[in-house]
């Protein structure tokens, strides 16, 4: 199974591709989509949509794993983040790829055993579980963690 992991964001959308076969995991690729900070919202959403579409075309994932947005203290921030997430999900859906959604605490627990791990703990576990991965940003590391979460949980989904 090839999993596309997505950590959505308007400024930094992390993505990863991880292959899974039983208990074996293999890192394939990862990166970050970087819309222009000064671009209008529709242009940033198009950048995310086009970037995810290109990843789907180049890597042909079987499924997608994406983080569920948590409610921020600022409702406007939550709404904008939801737009970025929607752009990524529509891009994946246009390629007929099934999407699985995971809450941040589920991702943290699946990787570290604790639902309140910080970003450095997630990054350490990503590097331990997939030594070939060398994430350069927290968004990239989170996207790998999101893909790994699905590879762990999918064994129980039937």
Question: Would you please indicate which residues are annotated as catalytic (active-site) residues?
Answer: 7, 67, 139
The residues, any chain, with a CB within 8 Å of residue 68's CB and separated by 6 or more, are 101, 102, 103, 104
Nearest Cα residue to 143 out of 47, 40, 17, 26:
17
What 8-state DSSP symbol labels residue 71? P
Structural element, H or E, at residue 25: strand 24-33
Within 13 A of 58's CA, how many CA atoms are on the CB side?
13
* Strand (E) or helix (H) holding 108: helix 104-112
């Amino acid at each position: 199974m090839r999993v596309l992991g997505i950590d959505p964001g308007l400024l930094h959308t992390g993505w990863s591709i991880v292959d899974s076969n039983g208990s074996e995991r293999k890192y394939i690729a990862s990166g970050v989509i970087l819309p222009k900070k000064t671009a209008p919202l529709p242009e940033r959403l198009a950048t995310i949509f086009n970037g995810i579409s290109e990843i789907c075309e180049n890597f042909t994932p079987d499924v997608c794993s994406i983080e569920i947005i948590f409610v921020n203290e600022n409702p406007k921030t939550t709404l904008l983040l939801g737009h970025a997430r929607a752009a990524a999900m529509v891009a994946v859906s246009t390629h007929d790829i099934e999407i699985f959604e995971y809450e941040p605490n589920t991702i943290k627990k699946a990787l570290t055993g604790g639902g309140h791990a910080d970003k450095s703990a997630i990054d350490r576990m990503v590097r331990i579980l997939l030594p070939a991965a060398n994430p350069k940003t927290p968004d990239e590391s989170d996207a790998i963690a999101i893909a790994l979460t699905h590879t762990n949980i999918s064994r129980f989904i039937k």
